[in-house]
């Protein structure tokens, strides 16, 4: 009896602890001030980074546009079948992160870390307008 209670408790703790709720910030958004450049390519395949980059953003004013949008991304369930771009964030310390990006009909940006399960993050229309002007 005690053993089954412990197993159930551990499983419940694991399930609850691993769930991320809607409205949560984009993971790593607190590191965006450490990005040295952003490379962008056309989206080809879900879960895969297209490394045929068509554009690189390294100017501080461009990076600030990305930072403003990405720091305001919030977790929401958004069903996207085809993204527009892959973006790779290259950090000053040599690390990088890659995301798929799409613009929906409401001019919101939808983001998904490449390789992440189904978690999508939405940048509201008012927070995404400058980035949309820059890349679309």
Per residue in 96-131, pLDDT (tens digit) is 999 999 999 999 999 999 987 789 999 999 999 999
Round to whole Å and give the CA distance between 11 and 75.
Answer: 24
Asked whether the beta carbons of 116 and 124 are under 8 A apart, the reply is: no
Domain membership flag for residue 48? yes
How many domains, the chain? 1
**What band does 81 get if pLDDT is binned at 50, 70 and 90?**
confident
User: Which CATH number belongs to the domain containing residue 95 in this structure?
Assistant: 2.60.40.4400
Is residue 31 included in any domain, yes or no?
Answer: yes
Q: According to the model, what pLDDT value does residue 32 have?
A: 95
pLDDT at position 3: 44
CA distances 79 to 32, 46, 83, 112, 118, Å, are: 25, 13, 10, 11, 9
For the chain, give the percent of residues with pLDDT over 90. Answer: 75
Mean pLDDT check: name the lowest of 4-13, 33-42, 52-61, 78-87: 4-13
- What digits encode the pLDDT tens for the residues 50-76? 999 999 999 999 999 999 999 999 999
- pTM here? 0.81
Domain enclosing residue 89, as ranges: 22-135
Q: Is residue 5 part of a domain?
A: no
Which pLDDT score is estimated for 118? 84
């Amino acid at each position: 009896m005690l053993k089954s209670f412990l197993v159930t408790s551990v499983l419940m703790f694991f399930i609850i602890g691993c769930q991320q709720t809607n409205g949560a910030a984009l993971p790593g958004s607190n590191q965006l001030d450490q990005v040295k450049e952003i490379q962008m390519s056309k989206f080809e395949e879900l879960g895969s980074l297209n490394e045929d980059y068509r554009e690189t953003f390294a100017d501080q004013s461009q990076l600030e546009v990305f930072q403003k949008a990405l720091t305001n991304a919030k977790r929401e369930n958004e069903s996207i079948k085809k993204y527009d771009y892959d973006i790779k964030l290259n950090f000053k310390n040599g690390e990088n992160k890659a995301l798929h990006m799409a613009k929906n009909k409401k001019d919101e940006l939808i983001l998904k870390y490449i390789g992440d399960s189904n978690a999508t993050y939405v940048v509201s229309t008012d927070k995404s307008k400058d980035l949309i002007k820059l890349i679309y």
